[in-house]
Amino acid sequence: MPLPFPNQPVVQTFTTWTNPTDAAVYLDIHVGATFSNPSGRFRYVVPAHGEVQIPGEYDLAVHDTRDGVIVGGLGPQLRRKDRVEQLHQSLDANKSAEKEAQAEAEQALIAKQAAEQAVMLAVSKKQAAVEAQARVSTTEKLSK
């Protein structure tokens, strides 16, 4: 395919991606099949808390954004050095762990309240039984 402007040199731009997580991120990006690479995939590795430069033509493979919010891609947890984008809450591991912890805490609170109600009911039944026994004893004494 001929270049649109044959007199213009082709300039390849790179995007610097940083990894804020504690684990390395592996990006298997389809760069095109060659004789030496028939699968057409190239693996970029972004080390934990490190950064790497990837050709700008693969930006959409790394991040899929809608209205400035990252909604997918091969590396949604990565951050662009030149741009601040918000990660969708469903992809944010910290927020989902926080939500799970909050749900577990709510379930524990519900279980605690149910246990407290069961104890109060048992105490109430015991007290009713003691009062009934006292009435029976009083009735027996009066009938003698």
pLDDT in tens, 61-105: 999 888 888 888 898 889 988 877 777 777 776 666 677 778 888
Measuring CA to CA, how many Å separate 85 from each of 46, 59, 70, 116, 137? Answer: 18, 13, 7, 47, 78
pLDDT of residue 144: 63
* Averaged pLDDT for residues 35-43: 90
Buried b (16+ CB within 10 A) or exposed e, 57-73: ebbebbbebeeeebeeb
pLDDT of residue 38 exceeding 60: yes
Task: Work out the percent of the chain whose per-residue pLDDT is above 90.
Answer: 34
pLDDT of residue 14 exceeding 90: yes
Q: How far apart are CA 123 and CA 10, in angstroms?
A: 84
pLDDT of residue 120 exceeding 70: yes
pLDDT of residue 3: 58
Q: Is residue 80 within 8 Å of residue 15, measured between CB atoms? A: yes
pLDDT of residue 111 exceeding 70: yes
Secondary structure class of 130 (helix, strand, coil): helix
Q: Where are the alpha helices (DSSP H) in 33-92?
A: 59-62
pLDDT of residue 59 exceeding 60: yes
Helix or strand holding residue 66 (H, E): strand 64-66
Residue 4 confidence class, pLDDT cut points 50, 70, 90:
low
Residue 117 confidence class, pLDDT cut points 50, 70, 90:
very high
